[in-house]
Amino acid sequence: MDDNQLTRPFVAPDKKSALACEDVSLEGLARRYGTPLYVYSAGHMAARLELFESAFSVVPHLVCYAVKANSTLAILELFVRRGAGFDVVSGGEMERVLAVDRWAAARTVFSGIGKTAAEMDLALRAGILQFNVESEGELELLAERAAKVKKRARIALRVNPDVFAETHPYISTGMREHKFGIDIRRARAVYRKAGKWLEASGVSVHIGSQIQSAEPFGAAAERVAKLVAELRRDGHAIRYVDAGGGLGIEYHAEKAFDAEAQVARYAAALIPVVRKLGGVTLLLEPGRFLVAQAGAILTRVLYVKKNGTRNFVIVDAAMNDLIRPALYQAHHEIVPVGPRRGKRTMVADVVGPVCETGDFFARDRGLPPVKPGELLAILDAGAYGMSLASNYNSRPRAAEVLVEGKRARVIRPREKLEDLLVLERDALRK
Ligand SMILES: *Cc1c(COP(=O)(O)O)cnc(C)c1O
């Protein structure tokens, strides 16, 4: 892939051509499978994983793809075939990993602040690599479950390093007042409580999401390394350092973004810390960075209208397909799929049909003039798009298509309205 395609795989071969994903026409996909439609480039996801693998090749490491970013089975399969492990945050995500490859459990870590006994049992029986434990209560319950299931569990405490990471407040997680993790100053005392069914084998940290600078990752790793040294002195054989996920991408097309350089800076912040510690395998949990830019949502313009002085482009995708703009005021580039026609001459809000003012994809966005029926692509929608999708307004969830070179295949068909109604029909009085 050339540099351009390493940023986003949705490019036009030349100025006169329409956008394609790898070698597949987007207009063709929209005609065939309808809209809204999620389209992902397999080559792009593989290339992003490869960036991670090569940047960290000088230290023992395992990339545990964060399933919540995009949990569709074919995506998990793509990563498992390339040797990745997984980071799951629920029993449901654990089941997804097992459905793809039950041996992948050995490469799976389980994070999350609210694990239930049933979820613990599932992961214990599957034989996962490590539980990232987020409270003393959880440690006690896990010890109980491990004794019951008769499976010894490897654990890492997810410590809260009290590092500030500049990102949206909803996706920052590494400060003392956040609900995640255990205060790093209390960690040693908690590790002492591990007991015979739990093996304190790691330390984990995750400071937030969509973090652009390498600096907070380095700062968190330093604090973790200091703790690892203390834990080793306390007699714990710490073999894993889990640096979490959170490496950001650039959603604005006008800002320069070099994915390879981004990973290189990230690796440069982590590798020296791991090397100095010695004897540890570095676990990495990237989600967004691996899949966000590989995906787009194709959507048709339904109407163009003007209310007062504002222009509205009403499209057939909505906040139930991609909630990031409504939830985090997130920016997504929106581009016409057809051949380029010069200047941006229209300023409009791009909105969906859902009955919420928050149902928008862009506000005051410069666009080429667009007409009803035209196909648009909402870019960088491969992460936290489908995985956060809902059926709000009784909208069936869109189909997902995975492109590999000249080939495109549906990896999740469009939901039918009956899929939404089936669970409720029995409650109707006949
Ligand atoms: C969400 C999450 C990730 C992935 O975050 P990204 O920003 O998508 O890389 C990794 N680890 C944990 C524990 C998470 O909660």
Domain end, chosen from 228, 261, 289, is at 289
Are 204 and 308 members of one domain? no
The residue to which tokens 């410590």 are assigned? 159
The answer to whether residue 430 is domain-embedded is no
Question: For the segment 80-103, what is each residue's pLDDT rounded down to a tens digit?
Answer: 999 999 999 999 999 999 999 999
Are 115 and 216 members of one domain? yes
Determine which of 1-5, 312-316, 339-343 has the lowest per-residue pLDDT on average: 1-5
Are 256 and 306 members of one domain? no
Which has the higher per-residue pLDDT, 47 or 429? Answer: 47
Rg of the chain on CA atoms, in Å: 23
Which of these, 150, 147, 112, 151, lies nearest to 128 by C-alpha position?
151
Q: Max CA-CA distance within the chain?
A: 70
pTM: 0.96
CA dist 139 and 146 (Å) reads: 10
Q: Is 170 left (phi over 0), alpha (psi -120 to 50) or beta?
A: alpha
Side-chain-facing half-sphere of 88: CA atoms under 13 Å: 30
Tell me what pLDDT residue 137 has. 96
Ligand 1 environment, Cβ below 6 A:
66, 68-69, 87, 89, 111, 206, 209-210, 244-247, 285-289, 383
Distance 287 CA to ligand 1 centre (A): 6
Tell me what pLDDT residue 3 has. 63
Polymer length in residues for the chain: 430
Handedness of CA 7, 8, 12, 13 (dihedral sign): positive
**Active centre residues (catalytic):** 355
Tell me what pLDDT residue 164 has. 80
Are 192 and 248 members of one domain? yes
Total domains, the chain: 2
Domain of 80?
Answer: 42-289
Angle at the Cα of 92 from the Cα atoms of 224 and 425, rounded to 5 degrees: 150
Distance 327 CA to ligand 1 centre (A): 17
CA 412 from centroid of its chain's CA atoms: 18
Average pLDDT over residues 34-39: 98
Distance 29 CA to ligand 1 centre (A): 31
Handedness of CA 51, 54, 58, 59 (dihedral sign): positive
The answer to whether residue 429 is domain-embedded is no
CA dist 387 and 322 (Å) reads: 9
